Structure formats: C-alpha cells, structure tokens
Amino acid sequence: MKTFVVISDSHGRRKNIAKIAPLFAENHFVVHLGDGSSDLREYTKNDPEKFLILKGNCDFSYGMEEYVIEEEGVRILCCHGHKYGVKSGIGRLAAHAKERDCTVALYGHTHRAAVEEADGVLCINPGSLGSYTDPSYCYLVVHQGKVTPAIVPLQ
C-alpha cells in the first residue's frame, strides 16, 4: 500500500501548507500539482525522493511539466492541467492520460476539488490549498491495483 498527500494551487499560502506538513512524514509521497510549486521547497530538503513537484501556469522556474508515477500496478499521470483545458472539461486530460497508459490523472488549475471518471480514467483534482477558496487537499491510497481518493477540507 502506498499513500499520497496531493495538493495544488497553494499560490504562496505557506501557512496552509504548514497546517498539513505533519502528514508529509506519515505518507509515502507528497505531490504538488503546480501554482505555488516553490511553496514546498523547504520541506523537500530532508527527503527529496518523497516529493513530486509539478509546474503550473503561474510557476516559472521550479517543477516538472508532467510526471508519470507507477505504484502498486497503477500508472498515475501528474500535471497541472492547464495544457489540457481542464476548466472546460476533463476529456483532453483523460485522452492524454490514456496515451501515457495511465488509469489515473491528478490535476489542479481549476481550484475546485473533483473526483470523476472520464473514458476509463479516474481524474482527481485536490482543489486549491490557497486561502481564497475553501482550501482542500487529497489523501490518496493505492493498493494492489486499486485507487481510493478522499478530498479533505483544510481544518
């Protein structure tokens, strides 16, 4: 079993990241899906392999464009989502995930938490960790080929 903390769109709201930082040690991976990718920089120093940092449309120098992680028999596409027009729907994102042989796509950009399936791809948006929305993140469990996401409101 592998566990993930998935966040996105923190936009410099480091106080919100600090609220969930104790979870970083308890999980196998921490994924930031962009727009505030440098907000995790101080946390990555101790265990850089644990952190996957993606670049969003508001990030200019820190993070990967996209990444595929494979754990427990599941291939997961990680990206910000803006290049796939996710504000207008997740069809292009799902198609790209299928091209990369992924059954799960993690994305941000919309600032709205969502868990929905499109064309056989489970598309998960953790919402925004910024203060101008109802902040949230995703706790994700991958176990023996099954994926269980939970959107968690920031307390």
Q: Which pLDDT score is estimated for 131?
A: 74
DSSP state of 111: S
Q: Which domain holds residue 80?
A: 2-153
The CA angle 44-74-51, to the nearest 5 degrees, is 0
CATH number of the structural domain spanning residue 44: 3.60.21.10
What is the number of structural domains in the chain? 1
* Sign of the four-CA dihedral 104, 98, 37, 46: positive
d(CA 80, CA 91): 15
Helices (DSSP H) in 27-116: which residue ranges? 41-44, 91-99
Q: What tens-digit pLDDT sequence spans the chain (155 residues)?
A: 999 999 999 999 999 999 999 999 999 999 999 999 999 999 999 899 999 999 999 998 789 999 999 999 999 999 999 999 999 999 999 999 999 999 999 999 999 999 999 999 999 999 999 877 799 999 999 999 999 999 999 98
